Amino acid sequence: MALKIIASMCTGCSACEPECPNVAIREKGGTFIIDPAKCTECEGQFDSPQCVAVCPVDNCIKSA
Amino acid sequence: MLPNTAYVDASQLGRSRQAVSQILETAASGGCGTTGGEGKASCGTSAGPGDMPEEIWNKVKNHPCYSEEAHHHYARMHVAVAPACNIQCNYCNRKYDCSNESRPGVVSQKLTPEQAVKKVVAVASEIPQMTVLGIAGPGDALANPKKTFDTFRMLQEQAPDIKLCLSTNGLALPELADEICKYNIDHVTITINMVDPAVGEKIYPWIFWNHRRVTGIEAATILHEQQMKGLEMLTERGVLTKINSVLIPGINDEHLIEVNREVKKRGAFLHNIMPLISEPEHGTVFGLTGQRGPSAQELKAVQDACMGGANLMRHCRQCRADAVGLLGEDRSEEFTLDKIDEMEVVYDLDKRKTYQDKVEAERQAQHAAKVAALAATRLDDGVDPDMKVLIAVATEGHGKVNQHFGHATEFQIFEVSQGAALFVGHRRVDLYCQGGYGEEETLPSVVSAINDCHAVLVSKIGACPRDELKAAGIEPVDEYAHEFIEKAALSWFGGYRERIASGLITHQVRGDAQIRQGAFSGAAEQAA
């Protein structure tokens, strides 16, 4: 269970990075990636995945 | 083609304007220009040291965004350290960042705080009249508090004479107001497009708030409350605020008069009403739904209706979040990271001070010329004493008519009447001269941008565009080359009145003009 950022859609704005409660997001080559080993999809932590809620691009972050 | 539908009804604006002035008479005074006439009310555009307390004058006199006079002489830069945003606006799309675009929210290179400080020091050494550093995104300065405040902290240590400012949508402002004061930030810009959540709902699809994406009226309500609270907190703490409002025809045009009243009540120093930029190719919601921006006269009508309220800024260029130079010019291409690495940077405070003293002397000379010109122009010549006309001016800065028509990427617009030459805005145009040859195709676009003007004052102009401007009813004027703008404008106006009085010409009312959208840096690069 993990989310994935579609690199071609990512603007590199970094909004998601500090919101992740699991510190699973980092920058790589101008865009951001999610470490699937750390991602919990915010289950049990928040109502909805934080990265999805803050991302300015619709459908940029999807289930891996 | 100019759109036919005018959402701003002049008679309605007249009524609202009366209502605004009635309310303002009883409202507490803040900033400057609350009691003066129309000229005075444009404090942000033209006020001088006599119009406000000395401590406030000292804060704004070298700030090109807060003083219209200063913007001819002093430069600013933005560093793009704050890419993240906490709200979504229908006029913004962060996905497209083409280097040819010149509009807020767009940059070509993101910077870390360390890179940003290096860049600021390099630019300040190269451009000694650069007095202000702003963080204006490309997202929201306060949605990236660590990057924003790290940049300010490091910069204060290395370049203590540079004024710091930031701009924000206001959502995170209340929780960070005290932090802002810690860094001696004198100037904060808040973008406020509404004071009614029912209007806000049409502008903001969502906000990110307390770990939730909030939509609809709830989102607009929270944003509105945070904006008002934040503005009040800054006023209490003595921070000068500028309110930016995007004029969206049919959504918030008349509503902006109420916004002006509400922000004024809460101590806003300046109100900057800007036209919506919405081309379909920008991919914004408004661009895609066909929401149009205002025409030049629609923008001016709303700005004029707000005069007497919070002071209006009319010289905003809606610059990019990485702009460098005087307002209206962008030298960011000279200061890319690669180029900075090769520069030998010496930050010499004394050299900057000496240069700025020279700039200050020139600015005083412009001010004196303006005062002298204003004093000398009231004549009883039998022509309508209340006649007002707009003129376009080509200038490269220093407050003078000093640019060739063909080199202008924008014209400054002045409203001239007996005894007054009031700066009312600027118009972007496509460069007429490309590589030394006048381009026939671009003249119609220049004409449409200044079509509401009676004359265009330039340092020089070629024979071809001269004839075509005349045919379009705009008088090309090059006899005031290198004179101060206000003096030139009033001298031309005196002559214009004389020609009317002698029966040589008859005064004609001009039409509306179109606001040029987006890019000008691309055209400038091609020409270089």
What is the CATH number assigned to the segment(s) A3-58?
A: 3.30.70.20
In angstroms, what separates the C-alpha of B84 from chain A's closest C-alpha? 4
**Who contacts B319 (Cβ-Cβ below 8 Å, separation ≥6)?**
B78, B102, B104, B136, B327, B330
Q: Do A14 and B144 touch (CB under 8 A)?
A: yes
**Who contacts B55 (Cβ-Cβ below 8 Å, separation ≥6)?**
none
Flag whether B210 is in a domain: yes
Q: Does B283 touch chain A (CB under 8 A)?
A: no
* Nearest CB partner across the interface for A13, out of B139, B208, B211: B139
Q: B326 φ, ψ to 5°? A: -65, 155
* Nearest Cα to Cα of residue B408 among B440, B442, B453, B367: B442
Query: Please, what's the b/e burial string for B361-388 (b: 16 or more CB within 10 A of its CB; e: otherwise)?
Result: ebbeebbebbeebbeebeeeeebeeeee
**Who contacts B5 (Cβ-Cβ below 8 Å, separation ≥6)?**
B249
Flag whether B5 is in a domain: no
Q: Does A14 touch chain B (CB under 8 A)?
A: yes
Q: Are B279 and B289 in contact (CB under 8 A)?
A: no
Q: Does A9 touch chain B (CB under 8 A)?
A: yes
Q: Do B139 and A11 touch (CB under 8 A)?
A: no
Bridge partners (DSSP) listed for residue B404: B460
In angstroms, what separates the C-alpha of A48 from chain B's closest C-alpha? 7
Flag whether B243 is in a domain: yes
Same domain, B259 and B354: no
DSSP string, B304-368: HHTTTSSEEE-------TT-EESTT---GGGG-HHHHHHS-----HHHHHHHHHHHHHHHHHHHH
Percent of chain B residues past pLDDT 90, beyond the cut? 42
Residue in chain B closest to A16 (alpha carbons) equals: B84
pLDDT digits (tens, 9 = 90+) for B370-419: 787 777 656 667 788 889 999 999 998 888 999 999 888 889 999 999 88
Same domain, B291 and B385: no
Query: Which residues in chain B have Cβ-Cβ distances shorter than 8 Å to A14?
Result: 83-84, 144
Same domain, B228 and B353: no
Residue listed under structure tokens 């149009």: B292
Flag whether B467 is in a domain: yes
Q: In whole angstroms, what is the distance from residue B327 CA to residue B318 CA?
A: 9
B279, burial (CB in 10 Å: exposed 0-12, middle 13-18, buried 19+) = middle
Bridge partners (DSSP) listed for residue B457: B393, B477
Q: Do B213 and A54 touch (CB under 8 A)?
A: yes
Q: Does A23 touch chain B (CB under 8 A)?
A: no
Query: Which residues in chain A have Cβ-Cβ distances shorter than 8 Å to B88?
Result: 56
Q: Structure tokens of A60? A: 């940029």
Give the pLDDT confidence score for residue B519 in this predicted structure.
36
Q: Find the helix or strand (DSSP H, E) in which B71 lies.
A: helix B68-71
Mean pLDDT of B485-512: 90
In angstroms, what separates the C-alpha of B82 from chain A's closest C-alpha? 8
pLDDT at B336 over 90: no
pLDDT at B24 over 70: no
Average pLDDT, chain B: 81
Give the pLDDT confidence score for residue B106 in this predicted structure.
57
Q: Indicate the domain borders of chain A.
A: 3-58
Q: Do B84 and A9 touch (CB under 8 A)?
A: no
Same domain, B271 and B364: no
pLDDT at B15 over 50: no
Q: What is the CATH number of the domain that holds B301?
A: 3.20.20.70
pLDDT at B518 over 70: no
Same domain, B324 and B353: no
pLDDT at B56 over 70: yes
* Helix, strand or coil, per DSSP, at residue B79: coil
Q: Structure tokens of B20? A: 């605004």
Q: Are B241 and B189 in contact (CB under 8 A)?
A: yes
* Nearest CB partner across the interface for A50, out of B84, B139, B211: B211
State how many domains chain B has: 2
Domain boundary (B295, B328, B361) is at: B328
Q: Minimum mean pLDDT among B25-39, B155-169, B412-426: which range? A: B25-39
Same domain, B185 and B313: yes
Terminal alpha carbon distance of chain B: 30
Same domain, B319 and B381: no
pLDDT at B238 over 50: yes
* Nearest CB partner across the interface for B94, out of A11, A19, A48: A11
C-alpha angle B71/B449/B278, rounded to 5°?
Answer: 85
Q: In whole angstroms, what is the distance from residue B284 CA to residue B277 CA?
A: 10
* Nearest Cα to Cα of residue B411 among B434, B424, B429, B398: B429
Strands B130-135 and B163-168, by their bridges, are: parallel
Q: Give the Å distances, CA to CA, from B216 to B37, B213, B422.
A: 40, 10, 41
Q: Which of B88, B144, B213, B288 to mutate to test the interface with A (most CBs of A within 10 A)?
A: B213
Q: Give the Å distances, CA to CA, from B340 to B203, B324, B351, B377.
A: 39, 13, 20, 49
Terminal alpha carbon distance of chain A: 8
B 57-116 residues with CB below 8 A of A?
Answer: 83-86, 88, 94-95, 97, 110
Q: Do B212 and A53 touch (CB under 8 A)?
A: yes
B 187-216 residues with CB below 8 A of A?
Answer: 208, 211-213
Q: Are B275 and B449 in contact (CB under 8 A)?
A: no
Q: In whole angstroms, what is the distance from residue B502 CA to residue B452 CA?
A: 24
* Nearest Cα to Cα of residue B269 among B21, B71, B29: B29
Q: Structure tokens of B54? A: 């000395």
Instruction: Identify the DSSP state of A56.
Output: S
Peptide bond preceding B138 in cis form (omega within 30 of 0) = yes
* Nearest CB partner across the interface for A15, out of B97, B110, B139: B139
In angstroms, what separates the C-alpha of A37 from chain B's closest C-alpha? 22
Q: How many CB atoms lie within 10 A of CB B470?
A: 11
Would the CA dihedral through B481, B484, B485, B488 be positive or negative? negative
* Helix, strand or coil, per DSSP, at residue B179: helix
Mean pLDDT of B266-283: 89
Residue listed under structure tokens 């040589």: B504
Bridge partners (DSSP) listed for residue B85: none
Flag whether B344 is in a domain: no
**One-letter amino acid of B250:** G
Give the pLDDT confidence score for residue B360 in this predicted structure.
86
* Nearest CB partner across the interface for A13, out of B83, B208, B211: B83
Same domain, B383 and B278: no
Q: Which of B88, B106, B208 to mutate to test the interface with A (most CBs of A within 10 A)?
A: B208
Same domain, B99 and B138: yes
Q: Do B88 and A53 touch (CB under 8 A)?
A: no
Q: In whole angstroms, what is the distance from residue B111 CA to residue A56 CA?
A: 20
Average pLDDT, chain A: 94
Residue in chain A closest to B207 (alpha carbons) equals: A54
Same domain, B124 and B229: yes
Domain boundary (B328, B363, B378) is at: B328
- The CB-side HSE value for B178 (13 A sphere, CA atoms) comes to 1
Q: Which residue has the higher pLDDT, B308 or B464?
A: B464
Give the pLDDT confidence score for residue B461 in this predicted structure.
94
* Helix, strand or coil, per DSSP, at residue B226: helix
Instruction: Identify the DSSP state of B291.
Output: P
pLDDT at B2 over 80: no
Mean pLDDT of A5-32: 94
Q: Are B256 and B264 in contact (CB under 8 A)?
A: no
Same domain, B365 and B229: no
Query: Given phi > 0 = left and psi -120 to 50 = alpha, else beta, which region is A17?
Result: alpha
- Domain, as residue range, for B228: 10-328
Q: In whole angstroms, what is the distance from residue B142 CA to residue B485 CA?
A: 38
Q: In whole angstroms, what is the distance from residue B409 CA to residue B413 CA?
A: 13
Q: Are B502 and B508 in contact (CB under 8 A)?
A: no
Q: Do A53 and B84 touch (CB under 8 A)?
A: no
Same domain, B395 and B262: no
Q: Do B85 and A50 touch (CB under 8 A)?
A: no
In angstroms, what separates the C-alpha of B83 from chain A's closest C-alpha? 5
Q: Do B94 and A53 touch (CB under 8 A)?
A: no
Q: Do B110 and A47 touch (CB under 8 A)?
A: no
pLDDT at B421 over 70: yes
Rg (CA), chain A: 10
Query: Which residues in chain B have Cβ-Cβ distances shorter than 8 Å to A18?
Result: 84
Q: How many beta-carbon pairs under 8 angstroms link A with B?
A: 47
Query: Please, what's the b/e burial string for B480-490 (b: 16 or more CB within 10 A of its CB; e: otherwise)?
Result: bbebbbbbbbb
* Nearest Cα to Cα of residue B298 among B4, B1, B94: B4
